[in-house]
Amino acid sequence: MNRFNFRLQKYLNLKRQDEGIQRLILFNAQAAYDAEKSLLALIDKKIEALLEYNTTLRQNQLNIDLLLFAESYHLVLSQQKEIQAVSVEDALGRVAAERDKYLALQKDRKLLERLREKLWQQFYQDSLREEQKALDEIGTLSFSRGV
């Protein structure tokens, strides 16, 4: 009896390996995006704390030097926030690109697996037919001999 041989098995194995690698790349891109996003949230928290500090400074005794320092620090934080927002958008773009690559590899792998399954089913049905044919022949010979 013949063994099932999928001619594209090496290619399927390669696609599975590529998909695993791309999954890791996607995971790393997602982790980088999360890190950039957390930095942006940290800058937002610093800005909120600075604004609260400014309001308490204005309510209490007015200190011009501290207000000027707080205002210049607010400008620096605003610039950092803009830069970080761009970094977050870039990271999100990388995640989307890596996700698209991963989905394309996954689609190719699934296509090959469906083809393999279809060919396996065809092979299995052919094997069953051959086996049934052999059994029918044995039955016919046994009946004709009168055994």
51 in a structural domain = yes
Q: Do the Cβ atoms of 115 and 8 come closer than 8 Å?
A: yes
Q: What pLDDT score was predicted for residue 115?
A: 97
134 in a structural domain = no
126 in a structural domain = no
142 in a structural domain = no
Q: Do the Cβ atoms of 96 and 33 come closer than 8 Å?
A: no
Please give the single-letter amino acid code of residue 119. L
Q: What pLDDT score was predicted for residue 34?
A: 97
Note the residue count of the chain. Answer: 147
Q: What is the pTM of this model?
A: 0.75
Number of separate domains in the chain: 1
137 in a structural domain = no
How many Å apart are CA 27 and CA 9, to the nearest integer? 27
Q: What pLDDT score was predicted for residue 1?
A: 66
90 in a structural domain = yes
Q: Do the Cβ atoms of 67 and 54 come closer than 8 Å?
A: yes
4 in a structural domain = no
34 in a structural domain = yes
Give mean pLDDT in consecutive 10-residue pieces for the chain, a chain of 147 residues: 88 96 97 97 94 81 79 92 96 97 97 97 95 91 78
Domain range for residue 68?
9-112
**105 Cβ neighbours under 8 A, 6+ residues apart:** 15, 18, 19, 22
